[in-house]
Amino acid sequence: MNGMVIGIDFGTTQSKMALLDEFGRAKSIRNAEGDEITPTVVTFEDGETPIVGMEAYRQALSQPQYTLMDFKLKLGSDEILYPSKSGKKYTAIDLTALVLSKLKRDAEAALGGSVNAAVLTCPANFQDHQRQALLDAAQRAGLEVKRLVPEPSAAALAYGLQRGSDQTFFVSDLGGGTFDATVARIQNQNLEVLGTSGLPQVGGRNFDHATIQHLLKEFESKAGFRPDGKQDMAFMEDVRERAEQAKVALASREKTTVTLGARGKYASIELTRATFEKLTAPLVAQTVGTCNDLLTLVGLSWEKIDKLIFVGGGSKAVGVKEAMEKASGRRISQDIDPLRAVAYGAAIQGAIEAGGFVLDGRAIPAPKIQLSDVLAYAVGCMVDEPNLGFSNAVIVPRHSRIPSRQTRTFRLKDAAQVHAEIVLLQGNEGDPADQCLRLGQMELSDLPADASLPPRIEITLDFDKNGLCSASGKDTLSGKQNQMKIDYSKGVSRMHRS
């Protein structure tokens, strides 16, 4: 193999790998168990030895206290998610690295050689520190990440390579833990993302949670007690698994029966499609509302959308597809596999990043399609406005092209001021600082005073192709300058200033 770059869809609940073949088609890479899907699950055998994937998923019922799921949503946090019996502490980065290490080993076994580079996907609304945490986890796993691609952009890339004609399309991605929406346009093999939005805390797991709460309530009414999350951990894990199964079953049936048992008591609970739709209606409304808001933001209407694409495991949930089709007035396209689209798009970008490569003596050409993505959020710095107080002054607007480099110049507040503190914020123009995400800060000291208060503090923000930010500040009068190095190991936080 020569310069190969695989695609990895690292999902909240499950992960997939893919690679382009000599015909330019994306193909799944099977794991060591022979499956295309690897559960994003880690369990610790006897509380100590980590096990990853399907085996970990199967042990969740017997030892839920040692099993970790959904840790992708904790990336960027230094929270200890699991302390082993020997005292080793695992964060989301550590657990993610374990999953990526298994994927790397499995890809090497399937392809018959070393795999050292990959294109990874992440939610479109993953923030700067979350993206960096994913890159750190990949590095620990021995993978060089050639590019981070937002999940809906990857799906758009997979669709665009198949359907190269000029058109504008809308991608909805309902994964296990997040919901993303993206508007994209393809013209002359150029795929341009026009805008993106999402719900970072809404995904298939939320649909499961709504079902679980209903099942627990019904079990309590039939059995006479409500199982405790700590005392009945195995029961709670069983409920979670059966809620997932019920969600899948209702996609093709009008009703299903769930049988649960705890402390010698059993109950059979009928769950209808109508009940499920009622339970999840608020979640469906949120996803549809996000899509409508995004179209307004990019200045389009559903009438201007040629194709509607729905991907992610959550796209199979009852009520979601129907609500999207009703809101848009068009049928969801069947031109792409909703469960593999993101991994396939990552594989396509991998071949592009590699410039083509050789696999088993066969030349894998680089696809001619090119992806142009955007920043999902606005970034600026904290200013003290007379009418607003401490607020955000945007330097790089939302939906700016990436890579991007933009500069904005500011005045000092007081004529006698000789010191400037520059605080980088993620948020919209004029947002109060305490409602923004604080990314870091830098200082310029011993500045010459100037009574005329001219624009002089020049702040430049650079976003690389992965959407990661670096910053520099310069006093144009004295020439003094500084650079911001964001220490993600300490995490980021909401900005508070007294």
What are 7-25's pLDDT values in tens digits?
999 999 999 999 988 888 8
Antiparallel, parallel or unpaired: β 144-150 and 117-122 = parallel
Q: Which CATH number goes with the domain that contains 434?
A: 2.60.34.10
pLDDT in tens, 349-378: 999 998 877 777 677 778 888 899 999 889
pLDDT of amino acid 439:
86
Same domain, residue pair 151 and 31 = yes
**Residues 311 and 272 reside in one and the same domain:** yes
Mean pLDDT of 246-261: 91
**Separation between Cα atoms, residue 75 and residue 488, nearest integer Å:** 11
Same domain? 317 vs 369: no
Pair (33, 143) in one structural domain: yes
Percent of the chain predicted with pLDDT > 70: 96
* 93 and 192 assigned to the same domain: no
pLDDT value of position 153: 94
Q: What per-residue confidence (pLDDT) applies to 495?
A: 36
Query: Quick one: 254 and 272 in the same domain?
Result: yes
The pLDDT of residue 498 is above 60: no
Q: Of 97-111, 218-232, 349-363, 396-410, which gets the smallest average pLDDT?
A: 349-363
78 pLDDT exceeds 60? Answer: yes
Share of the chain above pLDDT 90, in %: 64
- Same domain? For 156 and 189 the reply is no
Rounded to whole angstroms, the Cα distance separating 421 from 453 reads 16
Q: What's the whole-number average pLDDT of the chain?
A: 90
415 confidence band (pLDDT: 50, 70, 90): confident
The predicted structure's pLDDT at residue 15: 97
Give residue 164's pLDDT.
62
For residue 179, the domain's CATH number is: 3.30.420.40
Rounded mean pLDDT, 21-44: 93
Residues 146 and 179 in one domain: no
Look at the chain and report how many structural domains it folds into.
Answer: 3
Instruction: Provide the pLDDT confidence category of residue 491 given band limits of 50, 70 and 90.
Output: very low
**Are 221 and 345 members of one domain?**
no
Range of the domain at 279: 164-334
For the stretch 115-161, pLDDT in tens is 999 999 999 988 888 999 999 999 999 999 999 999 999 999 998 87
Residue reference for tokens 């400037």:
420
> How far is residue 211 CA from its own chain's centroid?
24
For residues 12 and 153, state if they share a domain.
yes
Q: What is the separation, in whole angstroms, between the first and last Cα of the chain?
A: 58
HEC sequence for the chain: CECCCEEEEECCCEEEEEEECCCCCEEEECCCCCCCEEECCEEEECCCEEEECHHHHHHCCCCHHHEECCHHHHCCCCCCCEECCCCCEECHHHHHHHHHHHHHHHHHHHHCCCCCEEEEEECCCCCHHHHHHHHHHHHHCCCEEEEEEEHHHHHHHHHHHHCCCCEEEEEEEECCCCEEEEEEEEECCEEEEEEEEEECCCCHHHHHHHHHHHHHHHHHHHHCCCCCCCCCHHHHHHHHHHHHHHHHHCCCCCEEEEEEEECCEEEEEEEEHHHHHHHHHHHHHHHHHHHHHHHHHCCCCHHHCCEEEEECHHHHCCCHHHHHHHHHCCCECCCCCCCCHHHHHHHHHHHHHHCCEEECCEEECCCCCEEEEECCCCEEEEEEECCCEEEEEEEECCCCEECEEEEEEECCCCCCCCCEEEEEEECCCCCEHHHCEEEEEEEECCCCCCCCCCCCEEEEEEECCCCCEEEEEEECCCCCEEEECCCHHHCCEECCCC
Examine the domain organization and report whether 144 and 55 are in the same domain. yes
Band of residue 165 on the pLDDT scale cut at 50, 70, 90: confident
- CA 155 – CA 171 distance, rounded (Å): 7
- pLDDT of the residue at 488: 47
- Considering the domain architecture, whether residues 130 and 249 belong to the same structural domain is answered as no
Range 183-208 average pLDDT: 91
pLDDT for residue 484 is more than 80: no
Query: Which one of 354, 373, 392 terminates a domain?
Result: 373
Task: Determine the distance from the C-alpha atom of residue 252 to the mean position of all C-alpha atoms in its chain, rounded to a whole number.
Answer: 29
- Give the pLDDT of residue 335: 85
Instruction: Evaluate if residue 456 carries a pLDDT over 50.
Output: yes
- Contact, 122 vs 86, CB < 8 A? no
Distances (CA, A) of 15 to 297, 331, 370, 397, 476: 31, 28, 25, 32, 49
Hey, which of 61-70, 89-98, 404-413, 415-424 has the most confident mean pLDDT?
Answer: 89-98
